[in-house]
Amino acid sequence: MTLQTTKTHIVHGGTLRYCRHDSATTGTPMTLSVFTPPGPNGDGKGPFPVLIWLSGLTCTEDNFTAKAGAYRAAAEHGVIIVAPDTSPRGDGVADDDAYDLGQGAGFYVDATQAPWAPHFRMESYVTDELIALIDAEFPTSRTRSIFGHSMGGHGALTLALRHPELFQSVSAFAPIASPTRCAWGEKAFTAYLGDDRAEWEKHDAALLMESGAAAGVYDDILVDQGDSDQFLTDQLKPELLKAAADKAGQKLTVRMQPGYDHSYFFMASFIDDHVAFHAARLKG
């Protein structure tokens, strides 16, 4: 797993790298950004805990990197932030003309159906290959947390609930709370996982939480949701997540933010809270 740095920037005293590598998991090149904080001595040597960010539909690694404004808080709290692309890409990779399926819409599952199965293995990519790559290439403490937005919020929640041994904490902005009960999820899961809804339920954050997945692991889960989000009622449905948490006895903090929409302006407004939320648990 050779990681190639394609661009480097200094930001808030730390180093931001845009990177590329050939993924054994997806069988394609994958791109990501990695911010390493300066650390107390300003030398960036660490070791530092890691925060993995998962982005939403249509995004690449650059959306969060350029728009979220997360690196001041990351430098202050001494955490590495990793932002991978949202799917495999390339001429030989299956795709769809719609924005909510195919390249840019990996949904953080391992596809089992043609033509997606050979490359669309984003769950394994994040939880296995990406984590190992970052630990091998950067000065990490081998502890990490995960957060994300929309499709990436779904990804962060489900990966944290399915792989609690990997993460210290989890949070999300405007997550797709129950993809088995919204059009985005039904479309993607039918394509990637087939018609068996029992397979879908294994990747539904609300249903996983309701079943007691990762019970006792996370002392709290933080979710921010704008009440002017155009996808709130039909696609995101945070009330299903809240009901699941109540049923399972899982502490969940859902903050409905008045007037905020689904954009990165929303995330930039509250990103410091999320970095601090994770930093406290990564260093606690």
3-class SS of residue 110? strand
Exposed/middle/buried for residue 66 (C-beta within 10 Å: 0-12, 13-18, 19+)? exposed
**Type of residue at 48:** F
Measured CA to CA, the distance from residue 179 to residue 136 in angstroms comes to 33
Q: Is 229 a catalytic residue?
A: yes
Q: What would you report as the CA-atom Rg of the chain, rounded to the nearest whole angstrom?
A: 18
Which pair of structure tokens corresponds to residue 96? 């769809």
3-class SS of residue 187? helix
Can you tell me which residue has the tokens 């690694």?
61
Buried/exposed 269-284: b ≥16 CB within 10 Å, e otherwise? ebbbebbebbbebbee
| Per annotation, catalytic residue among 77, 119, 203, 262 | 262
Q: How many angstroms from the chain centroid is the CA of residue 184?
A: 17
Q: Across the strands, what pairs with 33?
A: 18, 83
Q: Is the dihedral of CA 112, 127, 216, 179 positive or negative?
A: negative
Nearest to 32 by CA among 107, 118, 125, 151: 125
| Per annotation, catalytic residue among 33, 55, 150, 178 | 150
Give the strands of the sheet with 252-257, arranged side by side. 4-11, 14-22, 29-36, 80-84, 48-54, 140-149, 170-173, 221-226, 252-257
**Type of residue at 154:** H
| Per annotation, catalytic residue among 23, 145, 229, 274 | 229
Q: Is 145 a catalytic residue?
A: no
Q: Is 273 a catalytic residue?
A: no
Tell me the catalytic residues. Answer: 150, 229, 262
